[in-house]
Amino acid sequence: MKARKFAKVSTKLPGVKAAAVVKRTAEYVSPSISRFYPLVVESAHGSLVKDVDGNQFIDFSSGIAVLATGSTHPKVVKAIQEQAEKFVHFSYTDFYYENLVELSEKLVSMAPGEFAKMVYYGNSGAEAIEAAMKLTRNYTRRPLFLSHSGAFHGRTMGALSLTASKPIQRKGALPLVPDTVHFPFPYCYRCPWKQTFPECDYYCIDYFKEQYLEKFVPVDEVAAYFFEPIQGEGGYVVPPPEYFRKMEFLRREGVVFVSDEIQTGVGRTGKFLGIEHFGIVPDVVAIAKGIASGLPLSATLAKAKIMESWKPGQHASTFGANPVAVQAALATLDVMKSERLMENAKKMGARAMKRLRELKDKYEIVGDVRGLGLFIGVEIVKDKMTKARGEKEAGQIIEYCFRHGLLAITAGRNTIRVIPPLTTSEEELDEGLDILEEGIAQINSVVAKA
């Protein structure tokens, strides 16, 4: 085992203090929250996290793809402190403040598309999606929504209607918003039609046309098509390069394209938005997670002509565009530029991909490695031939990582995410990958013996 510079675990996990917090949490906090392992955070800086018992971990989770600039970036902290001393709240539902316009101008200039755009603000990813649902129905005066199986767009009733990631998320909440239609996402590693790309010639799109549009979905009644450019919670699934371009025929039928960039946005894939890798310009974009480096903020950007269909009073949120969160977002975008974080995401992403692809060749349980920038998934299988999902094995690997000082988490049933902060250094990345490899090697040998 290589000597560790960053990962330092010296107690059993959870340690005494962590175990006490876990116990109190179980008593007072909703059991609807599912956690990967008992990490109890005491402090976090950059890509390093300390727990309440003094153990130190390398962060490959970014607080679930949120900490774009790492934890407590000094410039973000300063921006928060300075704004908190001026004013903490003055609801944008009824009053004005300038940093909000500044952020809107920045977001509009950074998002792709040479057309006028406007921004609506909420507090969470789900709220950004709810806003997009209301907006696109209002603009088109059409009832239907399209989204994908495997999609994750949030857990509130509207957003949940578009989500089709795990049955537990819907359990007990049905019925949801009617008239949402899910169709298969191009998950080439597990193609539902057992085809191979590129020989398949995008059969998935032919299937969608034949089995959906020609059978039961009147396209002229579809308000919007919601998609993640790369599915996140569905298992870090990267679609083939021409997929969204080929889907553009829907736009000619008046369907609004909504790119859910809540997980893929804010530089994570090496570009500001994930969809920029796929050669189309969406009409509406939902951003959250990384935008304010951890403060709650979401933005729904839309073509001005779409957002102008809303009249005063049609949609708002008391806490949306909180001025402290807005200042944190401005600092986040400044840091992204001054520290060239998108370049770092590309560089570190390529470094991680190279190493992870080697692991794929080396270990039977690594079925697939895919991603863009620092948005990478490692799909764990029981064996490469059958591709049987290694759900238990993926869980065992991240548990191993935790016990050895790396915070890795899964997506979908059996994919391990590699999503460190965009500020991550080569040294931190390499040490994290060393621990991940040890975990994979150990579980691989257990599977091989079984």
> What are the residues binding ligand PLP (CB under 6 A)?
124-126, 129, 152-154, 228, 232-233, 260, 262-263, 288
Smallest gap from Cβ 126 to ligand PLP, in A, equals 3
Looking at beta carbons only, is 169 or 442 nearer to ligand PLP? 169
Query: Which has the closest alpha carbon to 247: 191, 187, 214, 206?
Result: 206
Omega cis (within 30) before 175: yes
Least CB distance from residue 115 to ligand PLP, whole Å?
A: 24
**Which C-beta is closer to ligand PLP: that of 165 or that of 444?**
165
> Quick one: 283 or 431, whose CB is closer to ligand PLP?
283
Distance CA 345, CA 210 (A): 39
What sign has the CA pseudo-torsion 289, 290, 296, 297? negative
Looking at the Cβ atoms of 228 and 431, the one nearer to ligand PLP is: 228
Q: Which is nearer to ligand PLP, 288 or 299 (CB)?
A: 288
Residue 103 φ then ψ, to 5°: -65, -40
User: What are the residues facing 378 on neighbouring strands?
Assistant: 369, 416
Q: Compare residues 297 and 348 and give the one whose CB is closer to ligand PLP.
A: 297
314-343: string of b/e by CB count within 10 Å (b at 16+)?
A: ebbbebbbbbbbbbbbbbbbebbeebebbe
> Which residues lie below 8 Å from residue 264, measured CB to CB, with a gap of 6+?
228, 229, 230, 232, 273, 274, 275, 375
Range 221-231 burial, b when 16+ CB lie within 10 A, else e = ebbbbbbbbbb
- Between 147 and 344, name the residue whose CB sits nearer to ligand PLP: 147
Q: How far is the CB of 351 from ligand PLP (least distance, A)?
A: 24
CA–CA separation, 149 and 121 (whole Å): 27
Give the number of other Cβ atoms within 10 Å of residue 434's Cβ. 18
Instruction: State in angstroms the smallest separation of the CB of 425 from ligand PLP.
Output: 26
Q: In this chain, which residue has its C-beta nearest to ligand PLP? A: 125
Q: Which is nearer to ligand PLP, 9 or 66 (CB)?
A: 66
Q: Which is nearer to ligand PLP, 125 or 432 (CB)?
A: 125
CB of 153 to ligand PLP, least distance (A): 5
Report whether 230 contacts 419 (CB < 8 A): no
Residue 421's contacts (CB-CB under 8 Å, 6 or more residues apart) are 46, 47, 59, 62, 67, 68, 69, 70, 71
CB of 228 to ligand PLP, least distance (A): 5
Q: In angstroms, give the least distance from the CB of 282 to ligand PLP.
A: 14
Cβ 148 to ligand PLP, closest distance in Å?
11
H helices within 87-232, ranges in order? 98-110, 125-140, 157-162, 203-208
Q: How far is the CB of 367 from ligand PLP (least distance, A)?
A: 22
Number of Cβ within a 10 Å radius of residue 52 = 18
Least distance (Å) from ligand PLP to the CB of residue 325? 13
Q: Please count the other Cβ atoms lying within 10 Å of the Cβ belonging to residue 82.
A: 12
Q: Which of residues 117 and 268 has its CB atom nearest to ligand PLP in the complex?
A: 268
Longest dimension (CA), the chain: 66
